[in-house]
């Protein structure tokens, strides 16, 4: 099997230790690739290359926005040409249905094009200032932060990489990127594309390896100017702590336990379908998943019966065959999800749909869990409090709007939330009260490159996408100009 190597300083290189790691297809447990397994030393090498590229020649940061934009468009074009290969790779690696992987790749291509355009837009400010030193003119310029360490999870392998790499490159930074060890293969393809695009040596570096070694080094190394991380809240905390040494900038996109609030006047069939998209899309392995349904008591039974019926009808299978849901990402993760399901049952939640590992036909060798719905849930239950990151949803009821809002906000997280109602004013009142960074009215999950993405509370800080996503990777410098050069007589004898 050909080993997929790290990409450091413009070269494909094996891990310094020579170690490799096997990559598994979760649909059937088969080994599909072998990758270089870097450690802290490989990360240090990549950080050195990125630093030299940025602080040495500085070709990329000094390049005109037009030239950087041209290169980003070239990257998007090659991604487009290799769209099917990229999508198939994410499905093989992660398990998701192929049509969902194709959607991810299309979003990723648009993300590069979006930032290719944005970097040429006017930005910065001009300030009308004057003070005791005489007439002055003041303006700001945006500059790249420097060396950016970027660490991503396994649920949207290519898309999470591009949400970070596209704006960081647009802004003129150097990058050391680490994908999840479970799903590194589309990142290897992306770096092949970056390699062809004509970026100066050392501008982008790929280091595969464990979070504990490569990820930790990126977070703590003083030659890294910024670290952006998408992953669990627990690891996010460790990153923030490790980053304190040189006070590097930190961006954290973390976990969630998002409320999906449904009022009795909502279109029931529509709410059921969006609730399914909210929790079963991507096998429920979505940070913003609508994992807590909070529904008005009067329609609960009807809604739950319909949700269970639709959930029971969902097809599971190899993602390449485009079933409704693919396998979970790994055996270990499947076991975590099954453990949450058993805990919920023990704590008194009533399982009305799914709730078990699925092993029929070809699924026997893979890591499949049926879409699962728990009724009669209460705020103290583990299944209501903790992020499961799988196709498991809880049902709680309310009688008043105030009660609905209180239940929605009864969580340490603040990533996302939705409200379903035919009453427009109520929809606006409720989304305003939900303490979360992303909210939806009468839909669940649509995300756009143009709008900022990020969390409140323990779902993290900073924003990706939109203009905020670019600004995260920029410093702002003020420039003050003396409009009447010459002596101003400040130290003349008085």
Question: Given the rule CB under 6 A, which residues bind ligand NAD?
Answer: 151-155, 160, 178, 180-181, 210-212, 215-216, 219, 230-232, 235, 238-239, 253-256, 287, 387, 389, 415, 455, 459-460
Residue 287 beta carbon to ligand NAD: minimum distance, rounded to whole angstroms: 3
Choose between 257 and 310: whose C-beta lies nearer to ligand NAD. Answer: 257
Residue 105 beta carbon to ligand NAD: minimum distance, rounded to whole angstroms: 17
User: Tokens for 4?
Assistant: 């997929």
Choose between 100 and 296: whose C-beta lies nearer to ligand NAD. Answer: 100
Give the three-state DSSP class for 378. coil
351 is catalytic: no
Distance, in Å, from the CA atom of 369 to the CA atom of 375, rounded to the nearest integer, reads: 18
Choose between 37 and 401: whose C-beta lies nearer to ligand NAD. Answer: 37
Distance, in Å, from the CA atom of 241 to the CA atom of 32, rounded to the nearest integer, reads: 35
Distance, in Å, from the CA atom of 293 to the CA atom of 333, rounded to the nearest integer, reads: 23
Q: How many CA atoms lie less than 13 Å away from 414 in the CB half-sphere?
A: 17
The residue number with the shortest CB distance to ligand NAD is 211
Give the three-state DSSP class for 428. helix
Residue 241 beta carbon to ligand NAD: minimum distance, rounded to whole angstroms: 10
From the list 37, 148, 217, 287, the catalytic residue is: 287
From the list 78, 102, 253, 387, the catalytic residue is: 253
- Closest Cα partner for 36 from 19, 50, 55? 19
Choose between 241 and 302: whose C-beta lies nearer to ligand NAD. Answer: 241
Whose tokens are 């079933």? That residue is: 323
User: Tokens for 386?
Assistant: 């903790």
Residue 390 beta carbon to ligand NAD: minimum distance, rounded to whole angstroms: 11
Choose between 158 and 271: whose C-beta lies nearer to ligand NAD. Answer: 158
Residue 93 beta carbon to ligand NAD: minimum distance, rounded to whole angstroms: 13
Show Cβ contacts of residue 102 under 8 Å, excluding neighbours closer than 6 positions: 83, 84, 87
b/e string for 32-42 if b means 16 or more Cβ within 10 A? bbebbbbbbeb
Choose between 104 and 253: whose C-beta lies nearer to ligand NAD. Answer: 253
Residue 46 beta carbon to ligand NAD: minimum distance, rounded to whole angstroms: 14
Q: Give CA separation, 117 vs 55, 171, 179, 203, in Å.
A: 26, 12, 26, 20
287 is catalytic: yes
Choose between 155 and 421: whose C-beta lies nearer to ligand NAD. Answer: 155
Residue 254 beta carbon to ligand NAD: minimum distance, rounded to whole angstroms: 5
Written as one string, the DSSP assignment of 11-34 is EEE--TT--EEEEEETTTTEEEEE
Q: What is the torsion angle, in degrees rounded to the nearest 10, for the CA atoms of residue 297, residue 303, residue 307 and residue 310?
A: 170
Written as one string, the DSSP assignment of 252-310 is EE-----EEEE-TTS-HHHHHHHHHHHHHGGGG--TT---EEEEEHHHHHHHHHHHHHH
Cβ 202 vs Cβ 52: under 8 Å: yes
Whose tokens are 């990058």? That residue is: 175
Cβ 71 vs Cβ 112: under 8 Å: no
Residue 403 beta carbon to ligand NAD: minimum distance, rounded to whole angstroms: 27
Choose between 153 and 278: whose C-beta lies nearer to ligand NAD. Answer: 153
What are the catalytic residues?
253, 287
């Amino acid at each position: 099997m050909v080993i997929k190597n790290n990409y450091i300083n413009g070269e494909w290189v094996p891990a310094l230790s020579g170690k490799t790691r096997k990559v598994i297809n979760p649909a059937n447990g088969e080994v599909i690739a072998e990758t270089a397994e870097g450690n802290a030393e490989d990360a240090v090498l990549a950080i050195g290359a990125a630093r030299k590229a940025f602080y040495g020649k500085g070709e990329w940061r000094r390049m005109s926005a037009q030239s950087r934009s041209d290169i980003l468009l070239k990257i998007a074009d090659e991604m487009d040409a290799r769209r099917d290969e990229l999508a198939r790779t994410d499905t093989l690696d992660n398990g998701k249905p192929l049509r969902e992987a194709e959607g991810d790749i299309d979003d990723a291509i648009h993300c590069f094009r979006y930032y290719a355009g944005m970097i040429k837009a006017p930005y910065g400010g001009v300030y009308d200032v004057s003070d005791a030193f005489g007439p002055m003119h003041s303006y700001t310029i945006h500059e790249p932060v420097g060396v950016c360490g970027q660490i991503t999870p396994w649920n949207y392998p290519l898309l999470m990489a591009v949400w970070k790499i596209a704006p960081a490159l647009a802004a003129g930074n150097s990058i050391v990127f680490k994908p999840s060890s479970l799903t590194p293969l589309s990142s290897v393809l992306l770096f092949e594309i970056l390699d062809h695009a004509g970026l100066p040596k050392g501008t982008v570096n790929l280091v595969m390896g464990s979070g504990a070694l490569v990820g930790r080094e990126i977070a703590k190394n003083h030659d890294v100017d910024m670290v952006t991380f998408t992953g669990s809240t627990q690891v996010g905390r460790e990153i923030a702590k490790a980053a304190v040494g040189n006070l590097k900038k930190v961006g954290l996109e973390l976990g969630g336990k998002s409320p999906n609030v449904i009022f009795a006047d909502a279109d029931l069939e529509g709410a059921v379908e969006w609730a399914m998209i909210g929790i079963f899309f991507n096998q429920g392995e979505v940070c913003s998943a609508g994992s807590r349904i909070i529904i008005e008591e009067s329609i609960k039974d009807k809604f739950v019966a319909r949700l269970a019926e639709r959930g029971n009808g969902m097809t599971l299978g190899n993602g390449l065959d485009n079933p409704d849901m693919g396998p979970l990402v790994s055996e270990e993760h499947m076991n975590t999800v099954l453990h949450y399901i058993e805990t919920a049952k023990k704590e008194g939640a009533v399982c009305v749909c799914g709730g078990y590992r699925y092993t029929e036909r070809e699924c026997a060798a893979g890591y499949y869990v049926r879409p699962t719905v728990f009724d009669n849930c209460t705020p103290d239950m583990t299944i209501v409090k903790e992020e499961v990151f799988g196709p498991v949803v809880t049902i709680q009821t309310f009688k008043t709007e105030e009660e609905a809002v209180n239940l929605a906000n009864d969580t340490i997280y603040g990533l996302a939330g939705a409200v379903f109602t035919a009453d427009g004013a109520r929809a606006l009142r409720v989304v305003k009260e939900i303490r979360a960074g992303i909210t939806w009215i009468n839909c669940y999950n649509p995300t756009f490159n143009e709008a900022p993405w990020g969390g409140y509370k323990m779902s993290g800080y900073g924003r990706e996408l939109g203009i905020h996503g670019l600004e995260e990777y920029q410093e702002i410098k003020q420039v003050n100009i003396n409009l009447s050069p010459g002596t101003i007589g400040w130290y003349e004898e008085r």
